[in-house]
Amino acid sequence: MEYEDYVAALRRTGVIPVVKIENEKDALPLAEALRKGGINAAEITFRTAAAEKCIAAMTAAFPDMLVGAGTVLTAEQADKAKAAGAKFCVAPAFNEKVVQHCKEIGMPFTAGVSNAGDIERALDAGIDFVKFFPAEQAGGLPYIKALSAPYSSVRFMPTGGIGEDNFQEYLSFGKVVCCGGSWLAAEKLVKARKWEEITALCRRAVNKMLDFSIEHVGVNCESAETAAEGAAFFERAFSLAPDDRGASVFAGTAVEFMKSPYLGANGHIAIGTASLERAEYQLRMRGFEADESTRSARAVYLKDRVCGFAVHLLQK
């Protein structure tokens, strides 16, 4: 996997479960639980003797899954991870020997940093995507934002102290590619084989990350006059002020009257999301495709129709 493809894959995924597995027999049930919850990725830490075999089992069973190795502290561990099929390696700190070795073997590697000095060393080694660890203890998002001012080219994967209550705040900052977190598949849940609970945690995280909401409903009209009449009705009945935006007239922000028929027999339903990129990725996994002919910088229609309506996906 090319380095920028690796970073792009992490960005689409958004949250990466950081997992410690003691028993290799738990690898496949865990992978299935994560995937059912909408997270097709895992960082398996080299903190147990089973890590190598777990990575091998997951990558063999699910070749499309973004499986990597975490807590990679030595070149030997990087070699083992690569042989097992890992697509990337992550470390809690910066080790120049490991960085250079991973470059030599073609393994995407994310080194850990916690301050400006670490970032300087990473940049000197040609790395501009780093793990910020331990994130909360090292200063959290305010510190990442402060570091981003002088180091504007650096991208971050904060890990450590990240959980359901704060990961979305990190993702809202453009320099954050993804968040790593153990809460999605905590060690105690894996040991107890609470697969359904892990799936539920992943699903909640995905839903929170995407933050889907209905933004408005678009109604296809035969003419500009008909569209104006529709908006006028909503103004008289519900005091929703009309807003002529050229191709359509809005009644408040909830209803859009198209001046001529567009996609969908009846019109369209606009769905807002916190991340268009991550939403499209999740929708593809659910079997829905974007209509590329409709794409703009911050929106795209789906190919599917529902009850005569097109579905318009919008970046909030």
Q: Which residues are marked as active site?
A: 43, 131
The 10 Å Cβ neighbour count of residue 124 is 9
Are the beta carbons of 268 and 279 closer than 8 angstroms?
no
**Amino acid letter, residue 195:** W
Alpha-carbon radius of gyration of the chain: 23
- 64/161 Cα distance (integer angstroms): 28
Residue whose tokens read 């453009």: 174
At 94, give phi and psi (nearest 5°): -100, 120
Q: What element of type H or E holds 70?
A: strand 66-70
DSSP letters spanning 34-56: HHHTT--EEEEETTSTTHHHHHH
Helices (H), 152-267: 167-171, 187-191, 195-210, 224-238
Residue whose tokens read 């839903």: 207
- 204/33 Cα distance (integer angstroms): 13
At 60, give phi and psi (nearest 5°): -70, -40
- 130/122 Cα distance (integer angstroms): 8
